[in-house]
Amino acid sequence: MTTLSSIRTLVRRDLKDEESANYRWTDAEIDRAIEKAVLDYSEYCPLQVKSTLATVDGSQSVDISTLAGRVDVLQVEHPVGQVPPSFVAFTVWGDVLTFRGSYEGDGANCCVYWLKQHTLGTGSTIPTVHESIIAVGACAYAISSLAQYKSDTANTGGPNVDRDLGYWARDRFKQFYTALNLVRNYNYRKLSITQLLPEE
């Protein structure tokens, strides 16, 4: 299972920073870099979630404040359980979803299909197959942070250490965003194929 600890190990291995008595990056710095990579990954490949929320009889508004880590809301099904599903038009402003037109809730539940930021800790919502993508992104952020630090302080890495670290960071960022675009394009292709399937 993907965990923060396992990703941290991958990042240190890629950074050649595995000598625990002489780490170049602290665990806190590595974890912050991983957090940034996960946030980026969530924008390109967010978690797909379906939540059941209550509507209010006679109201066009639905409280969606409980949808923590929300990236976007895709569809709202109401009433629930119809074949084919009945989806209603809506807008979102802040933590309030509002049915469009004259459509109102009836007090029954609706199903909200939404996209969520991934989580990574003792457990994870990130597929194991994408661990390496997160590791590459975290390496890029860690190196970039170190390059910025070196440019502002006296160091023993030579006069061009910040430039060399910058090149290294840019290379890792290029790898990271190339991988993210491939993942996003693959997900879009799957979505398009699903939409073209005939109804049963």
Q: How many helices (H) and strands (E) does the chain have?
A: 4, 6
Q: Is the peptide bond before 46 cis (omega within 30 degrees of 0)?
A: no
Percent of the chain with pLDDT over 70: 82
- State the CB neighbour count (10 A cutoff) for residue 113: 16
CA 168 – CA 69 distance, rounded (Å): 31
How is residue 198 written in tokens? 């005939």
pLDDT at 200: 30
- What pTM did the predictor assign? 0.79
27 bridge partner residues: none
Give the up-direction half-sphere exposure of residue 94: CA atoms within 13 A in the CB hemisphere: 4
Q: What confidence category does residue 187 fall into, taking pLDDT thresholds of 50, 70 and 90?
A: low
CA 178 – CA 17 distance, rounded (Å): 24
Query: CA 171, 27, 30 angle in degrees (round to 5)?
Result: 20
Q: Where are the domains positioned within the chain?
A: 4-44+120-196, 47-116
pLDDT at 147: 76
Class of domain 47-116: mainly beta
Contact 143, 170 (CB under 8 A): no
Question: Above 60 in pLDDT, residue 192?
Answer: no
